[in-house]
Structure 1
Amino acid sequence: MDPASYHDLVTPRGIKYHYFYSAPAEGKPTVVFLHGFPSNALECWRHQVAFFVKQNYGVLAPDLLGYGGTDKPTDVASYAKSLMSADIISIMDKENINTKVYAIGHDWGCALTSGLATFYPSRFAGFAFLALGYLTPDPEFEINSFYASYKATAGHECFGYWHFFKEDGADKVIADHIDAFMNILYPHDAKSWFTDMAPRDKLKEWVVSDKRTPPPSYLTEADFARQKAELLKGGLAGPLCWYKQYATGAVLEDDKLAPKENYVIKQPVFFAATHEDYICVPKVALVSMKDVCPNLTVRDYQTDHWVQLAAPEKVNKDLLEWIESL
């Protein structure tokens, strides 16, 4: 990415964001890429940014809160979807991004995409969710009920690792065993998420035991080293707050703010179903999305969670075709 295309903005609540922006050619849409844990805009979306810039689309790819060149507060309340959604809108306003805008999220970026859909739906022409689906606001959210419901639909426990992530000092444990952590997070064998990440206590056991596997086929050793260095530089305390929003129930108050009339997404929605993902299980997302996303396009991928890295050509082609069909 061209260094001249990187910018900084302090939002009205005093948060500094670092972001990539390339303006669209006349008449072209703008895509807003929202990454997840534990990456940043460049590492997560490098294949998509390069592709859509070549298509003369506008491309906005911010380092989200806790990552990269953006501020990294460690209070969970700073990571409320309503607040982070307002931050993204502030960046869009700064760059005069107003028409034909598509928000595209992956992992926790899908939670923020969900926030934009419920708090600022009029600013977007469509929403895309990769791996994780649309998170409908739930003013009665209760974490143990969520765990149980998801397990019942998926057929196995999926979020056991959240118990580790919400522990005091988890960020330090991960930093002290960063290679083992990165090995399991970007798995050489997708099924290791089923055995060593989804069940409770298994991820912490893997990490502190310093287990190692080779990187997956879609990451080189250089990619792996670069991501590790970037994560260590910024620390894990901020990124783990995205999990604590849900694992501690803090999301409850934020979801109460979402207008009920916006629970159903009226714009077109794209969902990338990752069929070798043993945590963000596609059938669970689709159970809820079919009722709240009436204009839904689903594309299937035989990849693990990191679909935009593992199958970039297909993801790019499918997203482009979806946008241009609307």
Structure 2
Amino acid sequence: MDTAAYKKLKTSRGFTYNYYRVSFFQAQGYGLVVPDMLGYGGTDKPSDPMAYVASGHTSDIIDILDAEKVEKSILIGHDWGSRVVSRLANAHPDRFIGYTFIAVGYVAPPVAPHDPDAIAAVFKKSIGREGFGYWEFFVEEDAASLVEKYPESFFNLFFPNPPSLWIEHLAPTGASRKWVEADRRSALPEFFTEQEKDERIKTLLQGGFTGPFNWYKVVTQSLDYVDCQGIPEDRKSTTKPVLYIGCSQDYACVPALMRVALGTFAKGSLTVEEFDAGHWVILSHAEQVNRALSDWIKGLDA
């Protein structure tokens, strides 16, 4: 990425964000504003989970869009980015033309404090096994230091080859800790070279894992539940166009479960694309994802 496109902005909350102006869709008349999210890359990495509540993220993103003088835009989120897209849709629907969710669908505002047993029960009823068991490890006090001790093992687990590795070693409670503590390894996925892997690990270690794991803690500590209490009911759905890109080999964020929440949110046009891919479809199937996005965006102009 052209470093000349890098920008810095101190948001109204006092956090400095690193973001990029990207010209991928420029030939079609579109630009992209891509922030390093809080806890990652060149953006600040506060250690307090409270800094990661959804209302804070929405405020930060609006500050960036205002700084770039972007009045209307299309939101695109992957994984935790889908949570940010969801809250922006709830809080600032007038600022957006449509919404794209990749891997993770719409994340509804929580209606009760976090209950891991209830989440596990939903997964077991729907697909016969756990899905988010790794959350328990990520929020433990020693998780960041353990991952920083065995970064390559964690990297191999988080970017699995094959994707089905998650069924046994990520989704069940306790499995991800066992993997990392044993310093287990697996083959790199085809979309990473050894050099790219080393560069990503270096970047992650420079920032540490406290920030990234705070995205989980803000949910498990029910900070997100409290933060979302003021969202009006009429803001919890939209008639604006929605695109969901699911991954048939994502064994944590299972498309069948993601579509349930999408059904409560998307009351207008809903486009669903599903690729034969793992969770990191934006890396493994970049061209196909870009084509799906491009076709969908063109349809908004029709």
Name 2:281's counterpart in structure 1.
307
Aligned to 2:235: 262
1:20 aligned partner: 20
State TM-score, norm by structure 1.
0.89
**TM-score, length-scaled by structure 2:** 0.96
Partner Cα separation in structure 1 for residue 124 and residue 47 of structure 2 = 30
8 Å contact from structure 2 (residues 21, 34) kept in 1: yes
Equivalenced residue count is 298
SS at match of 1:325: helix
Partners of 1:192 and 1:125 in 2: CA distance: 37
Cα offset, 1:172, TM superposition: 0.3
Instruction: State the Cα distance separating 1:54 from its structure 2 match.
Output: 4.6
C-alpha separation in 2, matches of 1:231 and 1:206: 19
How far 1:124 sits from its partner (Å)?
A: 0.5
Q: Which deviates the most, 273-282 or 239-248? A: 239-248
8 A Cα contact 1:143 1:246, kept in partner:
no
Equivalent-residue separation in structure 1 for 2:230 and 2:146 (angstroms): 35
Q: Which amino acid aligns with 2:219?
A: Y
Q: Is contact 1:139–1:253 with CA below 8 Å preserved after alignment?
A: no
Find the aligned partners of 1:251 and 1:147 in 2 and give their Cα distance.
19
Q: Distance in 2 between matches of 1:309 and 1:160?
A: 24
1:124 aligned to which of 88, 96, 113? 96
The one-letter code matched in structure 2 to 1:104 is: I
Say whether residues 1:137 and 2:113 are aligned partners. Answer: no
3-state SS of 2:56 partner: helix
Superimposed CA distance per residue, residues 118-152 of structure 1 (whole angstroms, 9 cap, x where no aligned partner): 11111000010000010111232432323322332
The letter for the 2-side match of 1:16 is T
Q: Report the AA paired with residue 106 of structure 2.
A: Y
**Deviating runs (4+, > 3 A) in structure 1?**
53-56
SS in 2 for 1:318: helix
Q: For residue 21 of structure 1, what is the amino acid of its counterpart?
A: R
- 2:262 aligns with 289
Q: Which runs of 5+ in 1 are unaligned?
A: 23-49
Is 1:272 aligned to 2:251, yes or no? Answer: no
Of the structure 1 ranges 148-157 and 274-283, higher mean CA displacement relative to structure 2 is found in 148-157
The residue number in structure 2 matching 1:11 is: 11
Deviation string, structure 1 residues 205-253 (Cα, Å, up to 9, x no partner): 0001011112101111111111101000000001100011112222110
Distance 1:246 1:151 in 2: 20
**Separation in structure 1 between the aligned mates of residue 253 and residue 53 of structure 2, nearest angstrom:** 21
Give per-residue Cα distances to partners, 1:235-280, cap 9 Å, x unaligned: 0001100011112222110121222211012211100110000000
Tell me if 1:323 matches 2:301: no
3-state secondary structure, aligned to 2:24:
helix
CA displacement at 1:51 relative to structure 2: 3.3
Cα pair 1:19 1:60 within 8 Å, conserved: yes
Deviations 1:175-222 (A, max 9, x none): 001010000110111111001000011101000101111210111111
| Within-5 A mapping of 1:160-309 | 160-294=133-267, 295-309=269-283
Which position in structure 1 is the counterpart of 2:76?
Answer: 104
Tell me if the contact between 1:143 and 1:249 (Cα under 8 Å) persists in the aligned partners.
no
The equivalent of 1:27 in structure 2 is none
Identical columns (%): 37
**How large is the Cα RMSD of the aligned pairs?**
1.2
Distance 1:212 1:146 in 2: 29
Q: Which letter maps to 2:51?
A: S
Cα distance in structure 2, aligned partners of 1:152 and 1:89: 38
**Unpaired stretches in structure 2, ≥5 consecutive residues:** none
Matched residue, 1:28: none
